[in-house]
Chain A
Amino acid sequence: MALYSEKVMDHFRNPRNVGVIEDADGVGEVGNAKCGDIMKMYLKIEDGIITDAKFETFGCGSAIASSSMATELIKGRPVSEALQLTNKAVAEALDGLPAHKIHCSVLAEEAIKNALDDYYARHPDIAREE
């Protein structure tokens, strides 16, 4: 069996939403280069809806695929839903990850939560919808 599912390889080879949003409403960065994974997420949010999401990732194949899938899962969704995103949902959407790569999906979840924290920090007027 191959290391990664077809889905993982597809998102790795053709990552969706790669790049930067210059006027992002929330930016999150997690991981560290020492461990070999860094994910940075940029979110554009209008009226409580994530209208755009982009990412930059330094990391292995599954880290890139997890970032790509996570942005796909939250794009066009309300912030309240994105706050509920779990690493499990990311891994499942990728048709599974090898056991030692599960942390990549955890990073993706954390990067999005981190970006949303940043969004709320920048907009103290907006109440957090959990």
Chain B
Amino acid sequence: MIIYADNAATTPMSEAAIRAMTPYLRECCGNPSSLYALGQAAREALDSARERIARCINAEPRSIIFTSGGSESDNQAILSAAANGKAKGKTHVITTSIEHHAVLHTAKKLQKQGFDVTYLPVGENGIVDINELEKAIRPDTCLVSVMTANNEIGTIQPVAQIGELCKERGVCFHTDAVQAVGHLPVDVAAQKIDMLSASAHKFHGPKGVGFLYAARGVKLVPLIEGGAQERNLRAGTENVAGIAAMAAALEESVANMHKNAKKLTRLRDKLIRGLSLIPHSALNGDAEKRLPSNVNFCFEGIEGESLLLLLDDKGISASSGSACTSGSLDPSHVLLAIGRPHAVAHGSLRLSLGEDANDEEVEYIISAVSEVVAYLRGFSPVWRDLNSGKGKFIL
């Protein structure tokens, strides 16, 4: 059996997205900035995509700018809010300890430029405490950046409450909604979001294209200088085919969102129940306030990379927060932030289901993971110490 269970990393493109993209690869190859009909047809594709994407998140079309994806959108949002803040003498930024590196590394860059950054902790459930956020806001706070849903443990933050609070306090609110758009209802007006980042390849669009929403009145600073594309906010000939595909993918994801969420939530919970039967294991992140596709576990006594390689041999593609898979010395900052000790965080597994997942696949995953975990524990000195009483079980 071949099961792709790493949809949080990226998703396959939908038929609709591929169909929407192909005309702009050849027949309609014009540059949207050109005056002739071919160019204007490409321009129309951009306009149409902008309108349809805006509708999906209840925004005005002019508030959407196309980017190369989630990372660029995060960078531009944060650097713009910081520049706007600095112009008013406000140099404090609030974010969380579980953000994607696209946010965290941009925040680090701001610190080097003299900004003061607060990294809000999260509870054991991986959710920000709105009261902590309220306490952290200062008169010189220019930005609150809290992700809508976490890419590792899938936890969903109280975005509407955060939006409300930021509006009251007059602070710009950015949310990295890369994992949420197309999967969870997003309404920038109702949730009072000032800026939002999204990436097409997380909702069955192509890689290397995304968008940034910035509410009217939020001034953006371009990261890329050049031509006048995207109202001078993002230079470079637009990725017309990619943008057309992104719009088609998003419309389809939004149209099927409710149905998919219902199906996936049931499969997710079945997977969680099955994996919970593995002794000394634990679910990471809140059991309910999580993406319908996301399952993330720690298994004591084993290391994640060897688990992934053996699952790959059984046809299952998944990911882990172990240091060995990230190329750094430390395991996932998200798992550490929810209080998992290093040794336990190395033994993590993230499974993110696709909309085509079914019961049989979930059952196969449960048996494969149970088998591999037991096999690896069989020659793990850590597991031996835990069982002989030399070490102490944490999970």
Contacts and interface: CB of A to CB of B under 8 A. Distances in A.
Interface of A: 9, 12-13, 15, 18-20, 29, 33-40, 55-61, 63-64, 100-101
A124 B22 CA distance: 77
Contacts of A64: 306
B99 to A, nearest CB: 23
Contacts of A36: 303, 322-324, 331, 342-343, 346
Give 9 closest A-B pairs by Cβ, nearest first: A33-B343, A60-B305, A60-B324, A36-B346, A40-B381, A34-B342, A58-B382, A58-B380, A56-B381
B297 to A, nearest CB: 17
B331 A33 contact: no
Contacts of A20: 384
B302 interface: yes
Nearest to A20: B384
A101 B327 CA distance: 9
Interface of B: 301-306, 309-310, 313, 322-324, 327, 329, 331, 341-343, 346, 378-384
Contacts of A35: 323, 329, 342
23 contacts: A12-B309, A18-B379, A19-B379, A33-B343, A33-B346, A35-B329, A35-B342, A36-B303, A36-B331, A37-B303, A38-B381, A38-B382, A40-B381, A56-B379, A57-B381, A58-B303, A58-B381, A58-B382, A58-B383, A59-B303, A61-B305, A63-B306, A100-B327
B342 A33 contact: yes
Contacts of B313: 13
Contacts of A60: 303-306, 322, 324
A60 B307 CA distance: 8
A92 B334 CA distance: 36
A46 to B, nearest CB: 24
A96 to B, nearest CB: 17
A30 to B, nearest CB: 10
A77 to B, nearest CB: 23
Nearest to B325: A60
B44 to A, nearest CB: 43
B384 A59 contact: no
A35 B323 CA distance: 8
A75 B327 CA distance: 32
B306 A12 contact: yes
Contacts of A34: 341-343
Contacts of A40: 381
Nearest to A64: B306
A58 B323 CA distance: 13
Contacts of B302: 58
A55 B378 CA distance: 11
Contacts of A58: 301-303, 380-383
Contacts of A15: 379
